[in-house]
Structure 1
Amino acid sequence: MLDTAAPNQHISFDDFLKVDVRVGTIVEAAPFPEARKPAIKLVIDFGPEIGRKKSSAQITKNYTPEALVGRQVLAAVNFPPRQIGPMMSEVLTLGVPDAKGEVMLVAPTAPVPDGGRLY
């Protein structure tokens, strides 16, 4: 888990713009028993420009696969793919810790078009 005690060094606005964070809708979610830590495999639809991407998310404490389908989430879409067990994770699904340190997904509070960029 990342250290959340204090903010990191300052970055420029141009540095912030390098991270491409988009909204997408989860269209598939399944248990991922092959992962080293408990996780759920996600397929997220980011709209016609980006398409569908796979992600592995350690969110099993607060979510079930059945409850995730149809939910919108935010993800960084321009990080290099990362091998997670037998799956290549293509995007980093974003979350923040709850009071127990378990992941809560970051999402818009109302439906928005898939593929919209965070700004």
Structure 2
Amino acid sequence: MAEIGIEDFLKVDIRVGTVRRAEPFPEARKPAIKLWVDFGPDLGEKKTSAQITAQYAPEDLLGRQVMAVVNFPPRQIGSFMSEVLVLGLSDEGGDIILLGPDKKVSDGERMH
């Protein structure tokens, strides 16, 4: 990967939010879950879809804090408009594991 400057990194707005609602997304091309994430009073609730069905069930995600890029433009995914990109890492099997803080922080807190 090419090196970037700090100015480029600072353009990416990564924040923490709490999953308030999660539903299966059966009409997606690849198995996915629809998420509604609360990013606090400044940003409010944003929605997204994530291909995380191998490791997570919708009911297991409620109340979980996740990290997301909040300043990408909205993206249409089938019949659903995704407003943020939740972040994750691939495990040994290639399944996505969500990124989040290991202790509770205020929703909307920006990653430094």
> What is the TM-score of this pair, normalised by structure 2?
0.99
Q: Give the paired residue count.
A: 112
- What is the aligned-residue RMSD (CA, Å)? 0.4
How far is the alpha carbon of 1:60 from its aligned partner?
0.2
More helix by share: 2
Query: In the alignment, what sits opposite 2:81?
Result: 88
- Select 2:104's aligned residue among 95, 102, 111: 111
> What is the TM-score of this pair, normalised by structure 1?
0.93
Cα offsets for 1:25-60 (capped at 9, x unmatched): 000000000111000000000000000000000000
Establish whether residue 41 from structure 1 lines up as the match of residue 31 from structure 2.
Answer: no
Unaligned runs of 5+ in 1: 1-7
Q: Secondary structure at the match of 1:27?
A: strand
How far is the alpha carbon of 1:61 from its aligned partner?
0.2
- Select 2:24's aligned residue among 31, 55, 68: 31
Establish whether residue 65 from structure 1 lines up as the match of residue 58 from structure 2.
Answer: yes
